[in-house]
Structures are given as structure tokens and as C-alpha cells.
Amino acid sequence: MKILKKPKKLNIGDKVALVSLSWGGAGDDNLLWRYKQGKDRLEQVFGLDVVEMNHTLAGTEYIYKHPEKRAEDLMNAFKDDSIKGIIACIGGIDSIRMLPYIDFDVISNNPKVFMGYSDTTTSHLFCFKAGISSIYGPTLLVDFAENVSMNPYTVDHLEKTLFKAEPVGEIEPAPEWTSQYLAWDEKNKLIQRKFQANKGYELLQGKGIARGRLLGGCFEVFDSLRGTQVFPELEDFDDAILFFETSEEKPPAWLIECSLRIYGINGILDRIKGMIWGKPQDEAYYEEYKETIKKVMKEFGREDLPILYNMNFGHTEPKICLPYGALAEINCDKRSFSLLEAAVL
């Protein structure tokens, strides 16, 4: 895999921009309270100076109709030297509509922290194509605006990943997790979601130690980009550790099976060093996914490929941060995962 440019670390007082790149709900009247709550957390918990771009709060209808304005906000945030980081408000379903308006040179020439998950996978692959490392991690409306307070596990990993220019090292599983749905109604803002004990990482297969550079995202989004100019080239999968997680749509196991089989046919599975999978939301199809993954690996003679499952990223809370292109390690004997280099400079 190509070596990606790293962004500079964030410092207290740095300016970060919030962007609406897919769904525009952050600007809807009934959700402005939640937007403000997330913004306040960025300022109060992390000491950042938070700003909106011109269309961040334009609302669902406008954002849907104007992908060119979303892209304009993203390009302007990258070009503005006073802005040190960019955080997606939320995911959605149609970030790919920004593609005709993306200037990859602008991204390449202005590496800075960019973070989000879910449909933001598309924007991460914009960054990947431009040769910069971005962070698959929390979004404003979900994690920063969490009811009552942010989860300490998420806060800890944000601080380690974005604010420190040193390797995160071994990442322990979260002690608890939740996917409980509580409507984003202001009357619920003081109700803490219910957490339950987390059983930790599962080793699906493999032995020894695997090291590779991180590449992946939300499985359905990543997979939907096959055939576009931002999908990684075949050689980009050389020595990679693929990270995948499934969305709140809870795709059936057969969809995972069919898509993974294409990665086998295309030769991607032969090139990678390992895989890690996030906890499915609500643990939907938890066992079925495991069996599907192992089935396809066997079909392509990759029963040796190290695969960790039930990790804390994506559509589950709390969550870690995964920097694209960073060197990572799967230790099958210890059933552990580590980031061996810093995400930032």
C-alpha cells in the first residue's frame, strides 16, 4: 500500500470545522439542540474552537439538493489554513454525489485531521485517493452529542489518536457497549442509554502476528464504490489490514457473503494481511456474519488469514479511531489489536 501523508496533531485552541457531507439533519430545527450539544462537547471536553462552514446548517432538503455545496464546504475547509481539523456531522447515503466537485489536489496539498464514519467512508476514500490519511471515527451528532455525556472510552481514544503524535499501541476492548435507540428528541437528552457488558474481541481464524496498513470503512458503502474512481486500486490492498463494519441497515449475511466473494475473485483477499470487523449494531446477525466470513475465506484458501471480530468501531458505541494507512498489528495468540504508529504528526 502507498504511504499516506499524515495530518498534524490537534492542540487545545485549534479551529475545527463541522461539515454536512451527506444527510443534512444537523441544520434541521428539531435537531439544532443536538448539534449544539455536540459542538459544546468539542469545545468543553477537548478545548477546540468549533466553526461551521457556509452550508453546514442548511438543513436536510437543501443539502440533498446541492451536493456541489457540500463539496464546496469540504474543499474550503481543506484550503483554509486556519482550520486544523474537519469533522463530519453525520453519515447518510449519498456522499458519492460530491465526486464531480472534488479537487483532489486541494486535499493532497492540505493534509489535516478529517474524521467521520458510515457514509463518510466515501469522503475517506477521497482523502485516500489524494494521498492523505484520515480518521475513521466519531461524528458530531452521534458520539460527541451522546445523551448526558460522552463515553470515557471514546474520549480516551480521541485524545490518544488526534492530540498525541505517538503510537496508540495496544487497544483494549471497550468494557461495555450499546446500540440502544433513543429518538433524538430534546426531551430525551438527559436519559442515558443503557450499556451492557462487552465480551471482547473474538479471533475467527489465523495464527501468529499479522502487520499491515489500515484500509476499509462501512462495508456497504465501501462495497458500493467498486467501479468508481475512488475505489482503491488492486495494489492498494497489498499488505493491508482491512477494517469493515456494518450499518444500522443491518445487511443480511448473504449480502456480506456475495460481496466478500467478489473480493476473492478480484484477488484482493490474496493481497491483504488480515481483517478486523466491528461489532454489528444491536449484534444483529452476529453469529451469521462470523460463519459467512469464515465460509468465504475457506473458498479462497485463506483460512490462514488473521481475522478479529467484535471490535469497537463503526455503528456501535463507544468507539475507537482508525487512521487510514497506519501500520497496525493483529496478534492472534494474544487476541489483541495494536496501532504501531501515530495517526498524526
What confidence tens digit (pLDDT) does each residue in 52-61 have?
999 999 999 9
Identity of the residue numbered 237: F
Task: Give the orientation angle of helix 286-299 with respect to helix 253-265, to 10 degrees.
Answer: 20
Residue whose entry in the numeric block shows the C-alpha cell 503510537: 167
When pLDDT is cut at 50, 70 and 90, the band that residue 177 belongs to is very high
Handedness of CA 163, 102, 91, 313 (dihedral sign): negative
pLDDT per position as a tens digit, 232-243: 999 999 999 999
Under 8 Å between Cβ of 107 and 38: no
pLDDT of residue 287: 98
Give all strands of the β-sheet with 322-323 in edge-to-edge order.
Answer: 49-52, 15-19, 83-88, 113-116, 135-136, 322-323
Mean confidence (pLDDT) of the chain: 98
C-alpha cell at 156: 480516551
Q: CA of 289: how far to CAs of 176, 254, 304, in Å?
A: 21, 9, 18
Strand ranges (E), the chain:
15-19, 49-52, 83-88, 113-116, 135-136, 169-170, 176-177, 196-197, 202-205, 209-218, 240-245, 274-278, 307-311, 322-323, 327-331, 336-339
Q: Peptide bond preceding 318: is omega within 30 degrees of 0, i.e. cis?
A: yes
Q: How many CB atoms are located within 10 Å of the residue 2 CB?
A: 12
pLDDT per position as a tens digit, 65-84: 999 999 999 999 999 999 99
When pLDDT is cut at 50, 70 and 90, the band that residue 48 belongs to is very high
Identity of the residue numbered 234: L
Give all strands of the β-sheet with 209-218 in edge-to-edge order.
Answer: 169-170, 336-339, 327-331, 209-218, 240-245, 274-278, 307-311, 202-205
Whole-angstrom distance, CA of residue 202 vs CA of residue 221: 24
Please tell me what DSSP assigns to residue 145.
Answer: T
Whole-angstrom distance, CA of residue 179 vs CA of residue 172: 19
The model's pTM is: 0.98
pLDDT of residue 261: 98
pLDDT of residue 78: 98
Under 8 Å between Cβ of 229 and 129: yes
Domains recognised in the chain with CATH numbers: 15-167 (3.40.50.10740), 170-339 (3.50.30.60)
Query: 142: Cβ–Cβ under 8 A, 6 or more apart, which residues?
Result: 90, 317
pLDDT of residue 107: 98
Nearest to 245 by CA among 132, 133, 96, 136: 136
Under 8 Å between Cβ of 316 and 281: yes
Q: How far is CA 78 from the centre of its chain?
A: 19
